[in-house]
């Protein structure tokens, strides 16, 4: 009986997550109805809360897949409650990705939940656990862009349309970055089980610096330009015009004096 109760508690959705969802819903309503006194603030709250929700679902996907793969410890760690405060590195998983969005409008991936890989059997399961997170971003991007590729924008207010476009940009950029085969990112986690033991040992020391290396490369104008060219091409394929995403980014960054801190997309 105690075990069943414990398992139920381990998987109960956290009030923290529900609070974030509530902020997303209320701010989304404010954007849709133009109720807020500040259009930019409403878009900021809506996109930021939706971005945090997607980060929680990203980490949940890792944990849930690991649970079915054999790691039964993820429940006791609180990973199945969707509570961002339960992550191994809440700073990396939530705070830094939000800061990167505020600074430059880029969905830089975070990390992570701690998976006891020794409990997982089979290389395919290890790869699937790593892929589950960025696939969540892909799904989120498809949902955000659905009104565009379904041509169902009639009656959708402009600000809400722009907010969805910018949120889609964040999801697409997060998915692309996460799928990079860079140590420390999910893309490397997908291929790592298929590498030789010697290769994994050689790469292991660089894992803590992979995310920082990607962030540094994005500051190089030429790299930044090519990266966003790819992101806008994907968005265009999903029916989202680049000007809509740019308009959403402009509304999101409603503060007047922080432009010099931005990682401005070079196109």
Mean pLDDT across the stretch 159-188? 94
What integer pLDDT is reported at residue 81 of this predicted model? 92
Mean pLDDT across the stretch 112-138? 92
Contacts of 197 (CB under 8 A, 6+ apart): none
Tell me: pLDDT of 55 over 60.
Answer: yes
Higher-confidence residue of 43 and 110: namely 43
Per mean pLDDT, which range of 53-57, 244-248, 262-266 is the poorest? 262-266
Name the pLDDT band for 260 (thresholds 50, 70, 90): very low
Higher-confidence residue of 109 and 85: namely 85
Name the pLDDT band for 114 (thresholds 50, 70, 90): confident
For residues 67-80, one letter each, b for 16 or more C-beta atoms within 10 angstroms of the residue's C-beta and e for the rest, the string is bebbbeebbebbbb
Paired tokens of 11:
């998987």
Q: How far apart are CA 146 and CA 204, in angstroms?
A: 39
Sign of the torsion formed by the C-alpha atoms of 53, 59, 65 and 70: negative
- Which residue carries 């997170």 as its tokens? 133
Name the pLDDT band for 84 (thresholds 50, 70, 90): confident
Please state, rounded to an integer, the average pLDDT across all residues of the chain: 87
- Which residue carries 């398992």 as its tokens? 7
Decide: residue 256, CB within 10 A, 0-12 exposed, 13-18 middle, 19+ buried: exposed
59, 192, 204, 226: the catalytic one is 59
59 is catalytic: yes
What integer pLDDT is reported at residue 222 of this predicted model? 94
Spans of all domains in the chain:
2-255
Name the pLDDT band for 130 (thresholds 50, 70, 90): very high
Q: How far apart are CA 75 and CA 9, in angstroms?
A: 9
Torsion-angle region of 78 (φ positive above 0: left; ψ -120 to 50: alpha; else: beta): left
Express as a percent the part of the chain with pLDDT over 90.
63
Name the pLDDT band for 266 (thresholds 50, 70, 90): low
What integer pLDDT is reported at residue 4 of this predicted model? 47
Q: How do residues 190-215 score in pLDDT, each as one tens digit?
A: 999 999 999 999 998 888 788 888 88
């Amino acid at each position: 009986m105690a075990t069943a109760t414990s398992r139920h508690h381990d998987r109960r959705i956290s009030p923290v997550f529900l609070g974030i969802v509530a902020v997303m819903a209320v701010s989304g309503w404010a954007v849709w109805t133009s109720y807020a006194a500040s259009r930019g603030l409403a878009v900021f709250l809506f996109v930021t809360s939706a971005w945090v929700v997607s980060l929680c679902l990203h980490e949940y996907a890792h944990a849930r897949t690991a649970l079915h793969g054999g790691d039964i410890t993820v429940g006791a760690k609180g990973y199945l409650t969707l509570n961002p405060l339960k992550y191994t590195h809440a700073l990396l998983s939530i705070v830094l990705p939000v800061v990167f969005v505020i600074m430059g409008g880029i969905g830089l991936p975070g990390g992570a939940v701690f998976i006891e890989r020794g409990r997982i059997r089979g290389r395919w399961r290890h790869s699937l656990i790593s892929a589950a997170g960025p696939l969540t971003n892909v799904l989120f991007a498809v949902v955000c862009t659905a009104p565009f590729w379904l041509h169902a924008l009639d009656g959708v207010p402009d600000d809400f349309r722009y907010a969805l476009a910018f949120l889609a940009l964040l999801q697409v950029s997060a998915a692309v970055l996460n799928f990079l085969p860079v140590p420390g990112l999910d893309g490397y986690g997908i291929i790592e089980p298929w590498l030789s033991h010697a290769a994994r040992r050689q790469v292991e020391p660089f894992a803590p610096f992979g995310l920082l290396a990607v962030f540094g490369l994005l500051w190089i104008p030429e790299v930044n330009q090519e990266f966003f060219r790819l992101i806008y091409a994907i968005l265009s394929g999903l029916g989202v015009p680049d000007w809509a995403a740019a308009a959403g980014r402009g509304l999101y960054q409603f503060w007047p004096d922080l432009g010099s801190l931005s990682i401005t997309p070079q196109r």
